[in-house]
Amino acid sequence: MHELLKENIDKHVSFSAAELETFGQYFHQKTIQKKEFLLRQGETCKFEGFVLDGCFRIFTFDQKGNDNTLYFAARDWWLMDNDSFMHQNPSHLNMQALEDSEVLLIKRTDKLMLYETLPIVEKLFRVMSQKALVAWQRRLIRNHCETAKERYQNFIDTYPSIALKITDKQLASYLGITHEFLSKIKKR
């Protein structure tokens, strides 16, 4: 069991040493080079990932070819396409490394099997899903209720280490504004 993964789990639920050992056996480590894709739009997501090092951008392309960033996943973050993972349909998302990165991956089949054989795993992912849903709800509220400048400042204050790893264009995509408008915000 990788220590960072263990620390992440401990934030959500308490596994016994035996449960941690069993759970950890189903992850495999993968190196992803800068600009390499872990998942491409149109592929089916058959894994859930945990970022050990590096940073990923999770985004989609609209019908006009514009990219729209949903979120970034840096060290100690989880990443997957929930819709594609659950329903085994083609993904609408891309997961691209913004720098050389290391991830731990668990296969969908192994995760589903662990739900049956190790009930604490289901509790872990339920708790994490609830926390993720709260974060998405807060982001949705911010997008509807805050100005672009407030959203920008919130991102910089909340994720300073991620802000250092991304381009202004990627940040603008995340904030739902143009690169030019972000430049104006930053000049003020």
Closest CA to 163 of 146, 145, 186: 186
**The pLDDT value given to residue 187:** 87
Q: What ranges in the chain are assigned the alpha helix state H?
A: 3-10, 17-24, 82-87, 108-117, 119-145, 148-158, 160-163, 168-175, 179-187
Q: What is the pLDDT of residue 188?
A: 79
Res 139: pLDDT: 92
Q: Is 15 left (phi over 0), alpha (psi -120 to 50) or beta?
A: beta
pTM for the whole structure: 0.91
Residues 150-170: what's their mean pLDDT? Answer: 94
Question: What's the CA gap between 45 and 88, in Å, rounded?
Answer: 7
Q: Give the mean pLDDT of 75-103.
A: 96
Mean pLDDT for the chain? 95
Q: Are 94 and 36 in contact (CB under 8 A)?
A: no
Give me the torsion for CA of 117, 120, 126, 130, rounded to 10°.
Answer: -170
Burial class (CB in 10 A: 0-12, 13-18, 19+), 9: buried
Task: Provide, rounded to the nearest whole percent, the portion of the chain with pLDDT above 90.
Answer: 93
| Backbone torsions φ then ψ of 72, nearest 5 degrees | -115, 145
90-148 pLDDT tens trace:
999 999 999 999 999 999 999 999 999 999 999 999 999 999 999 999 999 999 999 99
Query: Which amino acid appears at position 142 of this protein?
Result: R
Q: Is the pLDDT of residue 53 over 90?
A: yes
